[in-house]
Amino acid sequence: MSMPMLGEKFPTIEVQTTHGPMRFPEDKRGSWVVLFSHPADFTPVCTTEFVSFQNHKKQFDELGAELIGFSIDQVFSHIKWVEWIKEKLDVDIEFPIIAGTDTLAEKIGMLHPAKGTNTVRAVFIIDPEGVVRTILYYPQEIGRNIDEIVRAVKALQKSDADGVATPANWPENELIGDRVIIPPATDCDTAKERSAKYECFDWWFCHKPQ
């Protein structure tokens, strides 16, 4: 097993989770998945992230994307932490959390030795075919922006559905708003046609309504 890269199949892992044993990504085939690691249970930044992931779960559900957490804590620690979050913060964590190992975390790119012995805040967005489409990394001291992860899933789905690209900060881009970008022409005839067919800054930068 080697660290998964963009465009590659996520390697098969057999793990224990708070929802029971899982063979991933096979058990989630047909769904988008946001697999994210956190440094440790019962830590303040991770707790804020889990509450935020749960509060955004409806948005992920609407996108057909499942959430799965991961750290190298044992499963009984995950269970107790979920209970604590419910008791103290009145938030039900409804997604599974994987009880990983140091070896597994390192092999799939969640453990960076220069940042300590806990997993970093890695995010893998995996498509319904089990292919890694986005990888995000954050250090232990910085909590993630969950809205950006939702945005990334939406953008990937838009790109797949319509064969387009999305601009910076989409759907609130400073130049073209919520419009999408047409892939650049790859031959001279198509380049000549672009300006007549779409709104363009130049033939290589054309856009259209989403």
Catalytic positions are 46
Distance CA(207)–CA(210), nearest Å, equals: 9
Could you write out the three-class secondary structure of the chain?
CCCCCCCCECCCEEEEECCEEEEECHHHCCCEEEEEECCCCCCHHHHHHHHHHHHCHHHHHHCCEEEEEEECCCHHHHHHHHHHHHHHHCCCCCCCEEECCHHHHHHCCCCCHHHCCCCCEEEEEECCCCEEEEEEEECCCCCCCHHHHHHHHHHHHHHHHHCCECCCCCCCECCCECCEECCCCCCHHHHHHHHHHCEEEECCEEEECC
* Encoded amino acid at 92, one letter: D
Gyration radius (Cα) of the chain, Å: 20
